[in-house]
């Protein structure tokens, strides 16, 4: 698997691709809040002009941007945050030109 990743230019789940391209997502990173009482987790998010956006990234640039946001949330709220990597992919369904499947 490591050899395959090197051949495709992958680095720890990040694809090395030209800016603006959208390769197949192999891994996602999510900033999670951790409940101090029971340890339950939730996805951190930020409010944008178009509504709430979860702090979930699939590339290094966005992950670095979201780290800054997560640090601000921790600093202002006092909550604990955790970065989790999800790297097992299973496509469940597809919606598109062919309709629901």
- How far is 40 from 3, CA to CA, in rounded Å? 37
Identify which has the larger pLDDT, 81 or 14.
Answer: 81
Q: Which whole-number Å values give the CA distances from 76 to 31, 52, 73, in the listed order?
A: 16, 18, 5
- How far is 75 from 18, CA to CA, in rounded Å? 34
- What percent of the chain has pLDDT above 90? 63
Give pLDDT tens digits for 33-65: 999 999 999 999 999 999 999 999 999 999 999
Q: Which whole number is the average pLDDT over 73-87?
A: 96
Contact status, residue 42 vs residue 32, Cβ threshold 8 Å: yes
Grouping H, G, I as helix, E, B as strand and the rest as coil, residue 53 is strand
pLDDT band at residue 2 using 50, 70 and 90 as cut-offs? very low
- Structure pTM? 0.72
Residue 87 structure tokens: 């790297």
């Amino acid at each position: 698997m490591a050899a395959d990743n090197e051949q495709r230019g992958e680095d720890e789940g990040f694809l090395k691709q030209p800016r603006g391209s959208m390769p197949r997502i192999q891994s996602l990173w999510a900033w999670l809040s951790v409940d101090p009482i029971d340890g339950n987790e939730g996805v951190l998010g930020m409010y944008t002009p178009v509504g709430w956006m979860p702090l979930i990234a699939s590339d290094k640039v966005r992950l670095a941007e979201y780290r800054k946001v997560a640090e601000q949330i921790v600093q202002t709220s006092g909550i604990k945050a955790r970065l989790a990597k999800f790297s097992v992919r299973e496509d469940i369904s597809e919606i598109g030109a062919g309709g629901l499947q």
